[in-house]
Amino acid sequence: MSRRKRLTAQRAQKLHEELLRQSNAELAGVIERNIDIIELLRRHGAAARSRQERFADTMTAWSGSMAFLYAHALWFGLWVVTNLGWVPGLAPFDPFPFGLLTMIVSLEAIFLSTIVLVSQNRQAILNERQADLDLQIDLLAEYEVTRMLRLVDKMAEKMGIEDAYDAEIDQLCLPVAPDVVLREIELRQHTAG
């Protein structure tokens, strides 16, 4: 890990500790466990990347940084100044309109855009897996809540609690069919559009 990243990680840790100290709060054990599991899954995912994927991710991170922008601004500036003949003792090797520079920049753009697309495609696969997991957990939670609503409703009925009845509870106890909900959303979007 670079010195800069270590300093950033240390600052983040200090900020985290300060926020916990100020709020006088602690994370629940289940939250700590979930954070650990998420971090473990991320590390396993990062370790499972192929050499090409790691290269694409590294290049994407570098090309999306301010350091990349500054390096290119400096490079282009030096190229233009040199090739306009403004540097004494250096003959222009790519005179205006800078055909060689144009070709180099075009090739760089082709390679960088391809590398970024490779990285984005991999990230899209990870995002899709995460969305599938989220949907499974959401459906399970919805099923559990529906079951609890039915149970509480039956308990209230058995105990003779009349105020407990609400017509909305009957609707909430109905199972949710995600495919039907999705079709309805698409229909309404199509109708509105």
Confidence class for position 94, pLDDT limits 50, 70, 90: very high
Confidence class for position 85, pLDDT limits 50, 70, 90: very high
- The reported pLDDT for the residue numbered 192 is 86
Q: Is the pLDDT of residue 92 over 80?
A: yes
Q: Which residues are CB-neighbours of 139 under 8 A, at least 6 positions away?
A: 176, 178
- The reported pLDDT for the residue numbered 81 is 96
Which tens digit of pLDDT belongs to each residue from 138-159? 988 988 998 898 898 888 888 8
Percent of the chain with pLDDT over 70: 94
- The reported pLDDT for the residue numbered 45 is 86
3-state secondary structure the chain: CCHHHHHHHHHHHHHHHHHHHHHCCCCCHHHHHHHHHHHHHHHHHHHCCCHHHHHHHHHHHHHCCHHHHHHHHHHHHHHHHHHCCCCCCCCCCCCCCCHHHHHHHHHHHHHHHHHHHHHHHHHHHHHHHHHHHHHHHHHHHHHHHHHHHHHHHHHHHHHCCHHHCCHHHHHHCCCCCHHHHHHHHHHHHHHHC
Alpha carbon of 60 to those of 9, 55, 56: distances in Å?
21, 8, 6
Structure tokens at 26: 């602690």
| Mean pLDDT, rounded, of the chain | 87
Confidence class for position 25, pLDDT limits 50, 70, 90: low
- The reported pLDDT for the residue numbered 178 is 82
Task: Between 2 and 112, name the one with better pLDDT.
Answer: 112
